[in-house]
Amino acid sequence: MRTLAIIGAGSWGTALAIACASRAERVNLWAREANVVEGINHAHANPLFLPDCPLPANVIAHSDFEHCLDGAEMVLFVPPSHAMRQAVLYVKPWLHPGQLLVSATKGLEENTHLRMSQVIRGSLPEAFAGRIAVLSGPSFAREVAFGEPAALVVASSNAELASAVQERLSGGNLRLYTNQDEVGVELGASVKNVIAIAAGVCAGLGLGSNTLAALITRGLAEITRLAIAYGAKPATMAGLSGMGDLVLTCNGALSRNRSLGIDLAKGRALNEILGGMSMVAEGVKTTFAALELAKERSVEMPITAQMADLLAGRKSAPEALRELMERSLKPE
């Protein structure tokens, strides 16, 4: 591949630029912040996100979309979920249907509750509809940036497109698998962040392995119910973007959503926690979006509902836990 364009130079976009640098002659990385562009181009490091991870020389940062998209065969979209629609509309004039478009953002749009691939499709002409794929899976940006092995999944209803992305991005320490279940991959990757907040709450309350195992298991059950209600395949939830990503985010110390849950359990206010974070905790907005999706299809999501009450300040962490434990008894 001659040129890969990445829209979004946060920690995950930067990590992908590092990991994919060996797969392209040139990696164009768009950044909003002027100091990030300068740091990458002059010091080969992102001073705001992953400052201690050196970037290869063929990673070039840009502050304008025209030069970033120039000659790109593939475009990875990696903005926060709330900025995806705006990012796509900004780059739209320099996109063409011959490019491979890949969403690498996990989350749901806050007001529409749309998945990121739906946001991209809805923002572009019909000619692009069959050229969009999703990249997901268990992947802390810092570990990927430092070259630790990781397995991801690329999903598209267009099997040939998924295979094309797989072929171009696999290599080195990244191994990609293909999947045609976009719905399952995106919902699994998004809603696991809600369960990760709950995992953090358990840790913040000093609870142990038994509680965490129960949470992950029942969390996967409600993610699966939601995904199936929207047409996903159950088997997807046992894969990398389902169980794999859920286990990572609920256990890993690098999880922003888990850290947020720990702070909530300790009594810190949500606004205070978010104000001190340099990166986005996608699970906050996803909690409310997922709950709305569940209501539309009459899907029961008790953990998500309790996290919504906790995030909204309607309940304390101990109250949310008690209500989960005191729910009516039922078969597994």
* CA 214 from centre of chain: 23
Q: What would the two tokens of residue 176 be?
A: 């990609």
CB 18 within 8 A of CB 40: no
Q: With the CA atoms of 174, 177, 180 and 185 taken in that order, what torsion angle do they form, in degrees rounded to the nearest 10?
A: -60
Provide the sign of the torsion angle of the four alpha carbons 89, 95, 101, 105, taken in this order.
negative
Q: How far is CA 159 from CA 49, 87, 130, 137, 227, in A?
A: 34, 26, 10, 18, 20
- The C-alpha angle with vertex 271 and arms to 265 and 273, in degrees rounded to 5, equals 50
80, 125, 286, 298: which is closest to 196 by C-alpha? 286
Kind and range of the H or E element at 7?
strand 3-7
CB 204 within 8 A of CB 141: no
Active-site residue (options: 92, 106, 192, 295): 192
At residue 27, φ and ψ (nearest 5 deg) are -115, 115
3-state DSSP call for residue 77?
A: strand
Kind and range of the H or E element at 102?
strand 100-103
Asked if 192 is an active-site residue, the reply is yes
Cα separation, 255 vs 279, in Å, equals 11
80, 63, 79: which is closest to 28 by C-alpha? 63
* Residues labelled as active-site residues: 192
